[in-house]
A and B are shown apart, each in its own frame.
Chain A
C-alpha cells in the first residue's frame, strides 16, 4: 500500500488504502440513496391513508420541525469546520468541533424522540395506519442512522485521543464527515417531503 504514498495533499488521501476507502464509502452512499428512495416512495404512495389515526396536517408542527432542521444543519456546518481543522493539522480543533457536532446530533435525536412520543400519545403509532407506518419507518430509519453516527463519532474521538492525526485516523474522520453531511441531505428531503408538504396539503 505504501508504494503509492503521496507526499502532498490531505493526509487521508495520501495512501492507496485511504483513497480506496473513501471511494468505497461513496459507493456505499450511492446504495444509501436507493435505500431512502424506496422508503420515500413507500411514504409517498401511502400518503393520506391514515385510516382512523390523525391526519399528518393535524400533528406536524413547524416550530419543532424547524428546530430539528437547524440543529442538523448546524451540525453539518460544524462537521465541515472539524475537517477544516483536521487539514490544518489541529487535533484539538478537530476534536472540539467533532464534539460540538456530536452534541448537536444528540440534541436532534432528543427532539425526534420527544416528537415520536408526542405522536404516539395523539394516537399515531407504527401500527395505527399504513400512512403512519410509512412515516415512522422513514423518519425512524433516518433517526437510526443519526444514532449510529453519534456512536461512531464517540468511538472515533477515543481513537483520535489515543493516536492523534495519522493517515488512518484522518481517513476515518473524513469518511464520517461524508456520512454526516449525507444524513443532512436526507433530512432536507424529509423536512420538505414529509413535514412541509404534510402541512400544506
Chain B
C-alpha cells in the first residue's frame, strides 16, 4: 500500500499509466489493427478485466492491511460477481445463441456471440 509519508503515491501513478496504456491499446486494436474481429473482441475484453483489476487493487485499497476489522467482504463481492456472470452469460445463452441450429451448444462463447452479432448487424 501507499506509504502516507511519501509525497507522490507511486502505486497510483503506475496504476494510472497502466490504465491509460491499456485504453489506448484497446482503442488501437479496434481502429487500426488488422486482427480478425473475434481476436479483437477477446483481447479488448481481457484488457477491460485487467483494467478493472488495476482499479480494485491499486486504487480501491482492496488488499489494505491497515483496515483493522473492516476487511473487504470477499464473500459478498464474489457473490456479486458470480451473479453478474450468471445473469450475463445466462441471458446471452438463452436469448441470443443457446437454441440455434448449427451452433455448438457450449464452448467458443465469444465466437458465437460475435457470429450472432454479425448476423444481426448484417441483417439491418
Residues of A within 8 A of B (CB): 4, 6, 8-10, 13-14, 16, 18-20, 22-23, 26-27, 29-34, 36-38, 40-42, 44-45, 47-51, 55, 57, 62, 66, 69-70, 73-74, 76-77, 79-81, 83-84, 87-88, 177-178, 181-182, 184-185, 188-189, 191-193, 196-197, 199-201
Contacts and interface: CB of A to CB of B under 8 A. Distances in A.
Given A45-B91, A81-B9, A181-B59, A196 B30 contact: yes
Interface residues of B, number: 63
Nearest to A183: B55
Interface string B60-103: 11000011111111001101110111011011100110000000
Q: Count chain A CB atoms within 10 A of each CB in B26, B29, B123 and give the residue with the most.
A: B26
A79 B21 CA distance: 19
**Chain B interface mostly helix, strand, loop or mixed?**
helix
A80 B12 contact: yes
A77 B12 contact: yes
Given A50-B124, A80-B58, A184-B55, 16 more contacts: A13-B70, A23-B70, A23-B73, A26-B72, A29-B77, A30-B77, A45-B95, A51-B124, A80-B9, A84-B9, A87-B2, A177-B60, A188-B51, A189-B52, A196-B26, A201-B121
A41 B79 CA distance: 17
B76 A42 contact: no
A49 B92 contact: no
Contact of B120 (A6, A22, A49, A188): A49
Given A34-B83, A201-B117, A19 B60 contact: no
A3 to B, nearest CB: 12
A31 to B, nearest CB: 7
B73 A30 contact: yes
B23 A191 contact: yes
A10 B3 CA distance: 11
Contact of B48 (A38, A44, A83, A193): A193
A19 B70 contact: yes
B118 interface: yes
A77 B16 CA distance: 6
